[in-house]
Amino acid sequence: MARINSHDPERLEILSRRAFLFGSATTAAFAGIVGRLYQLQIADHDKYVKLAMDNQFNTRILTPLRGEILDRFGNVLASNRKNFRVLLMPDQTRDVEGALDKLAHVIELSPEKRDRLLRQIKRGGRFTPVEVQANLSWDEFAKLNYELPELPGAMPDVGETRDYPLGSAAAFVIGYVGAVTEEDLKSQETEADRVLLRQPGFKVGRDGLERTYDKELRGESGKMDVKVNAYGRVIEEVADRATPPTQGQTLVLTIDADLQQVAMRELEGESGAAVVLDVHTGDVLVLASTPAFDPNDFNVGINPDLWRELNSDPRHPLLNKPLGGVYPPGSTFKTISSIAAQIAGVKTSFSVSCSGKMWYGNRYFHCWKRGGHGGGINMRNAIKHSCDTYFYTVAKDLEIDIIADVAKKLGLGQTFELGIPGQKRGVVPSREWKRAYFAGSPQNQPWFQGETLSVIIGQGYVTATPLQLAVMAARIATGKEVRPRIVRMRGALDLPPQPFGNLDIDQSYFDVVRAGMSGVVNEPGGTAFPYRPTGVEWAMGGKSGSSQVYQISAEDRARGLTKQEELPWERRDHALFVSFAPFDNPRYACAVIVEHGIGGSRMAGGKTSAIMKAVMEKDPATRPAFDPRSLAQVNPQRQEG
């Protein structure tokens, strides 16, 4: 074996260089290890302590209670109630589909819902609980707890859900809540909002004020740290590291729950609407629509059969008739026509003789009263008796644009800021409107004066909503630009009514209209005299209307069909009535419509009298309003914003 010569200079140089390189590398490696240990244990100590704690603790979102909706006196219109439900914790079962199959033996779980739950779990991840079933009965909840050892991942829970104590009575004011959709998640501005909406069973506003004020009613989420094991399962809640949620803001409305229910009872069995306003403030005291749906059905998940029934009902229980129903106003429009006539120069003393019909153009225009009203029908009497012939006579020389201008000033053809979606404008016809509406169609013709004869009595093209008619009555009663409102307070924010200015109409023009409306109700011969409020010390002014839906033809008459009662329900005239009271010092205005009710005075007038009698007996404008700020002392979760 060859030996290394220790006296060989070349060999010694090679060995020395290798030893130096090895020693340098060892020193550098050791220095790197020391530096890394310094970084981990000293420089980045706080960072890794936090990461270690994050492995031990998770943050869970605490869902806030939804804000309440109250009437003007603090009566609950929308609140929260206990909700027995079952959640599935995907992280606590290896087989999610198998866990759902086992749950289906204990509670009802349709294939459609099962598929939806699987999609939710995929979207939210294994550590996000999902709500399998809510609103369980006590028996179902007890059975679930009994079977719990055989249900992996199942977690019984007592949560909160929306509750509407008045049911259908306030459905179109309040609206309802529903499950969160993908579109809801995409529309959120922040990730915190999206996280809140992903919580099990969380609901968002779907209609009415629930929808418009969803953000305010939703509240602010809280959070709590929970101790978890290596698998992410919760083993302990850390209460001292929790931030409590803040309940959503309270909405206090102008609605009077008692009067709302009175109106609903008066309209029961009919397809109709009623609106009552405080003419001094614009407060909407009543906004009733029949038939109506029960918002609690939507909250718990509406039955498909019930949904089909609601959609197929010819009385349209899903239509908010006070705001979204448009109808020919019929003879209630004659109040507008009387003011327009005065603006055009017609004297209130001008009178006609009514024979029951008037020839114009190439046909007869008939008065509602066969045989006519006789002679001496001036403007006041024309309103009192609702004489069509008088208004036909005036219409022969009356410009349609004057009528349209007055109609708009009195509230028709516009919407109002109420916070409730679905308002319709209706139609206020004019020359410009007709040109625009029929542009490019075979009916693209100029305005004909014969069309004014139809409009002046509230027929033809003109349509309005019950809310607009109530505003019209309020503006006639006061001569001011009354504007309705329905939200009085939002949280701690008071929303006071704004003062109303006088309408841009000579105030003296209202005098004859009010006098005629008094005659309608309070004088023999008035169309609503038999249906006036009785046993009261105050008087009401009003105007009836019957709007034609179907004109009985010559062929119908030849078959012997001559009366409205003989027509199918959907072809009968609508019955309308507008009013204000007390007559000598107006405080409340009302509009009522009964679809296909035939007689304006008989059907709608009688119901108006009953509603207005209840309003005057309670006289809500004289009672102190409710202040929701006192609720913060009652409910510890409530912190009004």
- pTM for the model: 0.83
Please name the amino acid found at residue 12: L
Tell me which long-range contacts 427-431 makes (C-beta under 8 A, separation of at least 24).
Answer: 427/326, 427/461, 427/462, 427/463, 428/404, 428/462, 429/400, 429/404, 429/455, 429/460, 429/461, 429/462, 430/400, 430/401, 430/404, 431/400, 431/401
- What's the confidence (pLDDT) of residue 362? 87
Name 31's bridge partners: none
Q: Which residues contact 397 (CB under 8 A, 6 or more apart)?
A: 344
Q: How many CA atoms lie within 13 A of 246 on its CB side?
A: 11
CA-wise closest residue to 403 among 456, 332, 447: 456
* Phi/psi of residue 281, nearest 5 degrees: -115, -20
- What's the confidence (pLDDT) of residue 633? 40
Q: Which residues contact 26 (CB under 8 A, 6 or more apart)?
A: none
CA-wise closest residue to 450 among 359, 388, 532, 369: 359
The angle subtended at Cα 337 by Cα 334 and Cα 339, nearest 5°, is: 115
Distance CA 449, CA 439 (A): 19
- What's the confidence (pLDDT) of residue 141? 83
Q: How many CB atoms lie within 10 A of CB 297?
A: 18
Low-confidence ranges of the chain (pLDDT < 50): 231-232, 632-641
Distance CA 150, CA 451 (A): 76
Distance CA 428, CA 441 (A): 20
- What's the confidence (pLDDT) of residue 464? 97
Q: Cβ distance 402 to 337 under 8 Å?
A: no
- What's the confidence (pLDDT) of residue 241? 67
Please name the amino acid found at residue 339: I
With tokens 């960072």, the residue in question is 47
SS3 230: coil
Distance CA 388, CA 457 (A): 7
User: What would the two tokens of residue 270 be?
Assistant: 């009919």
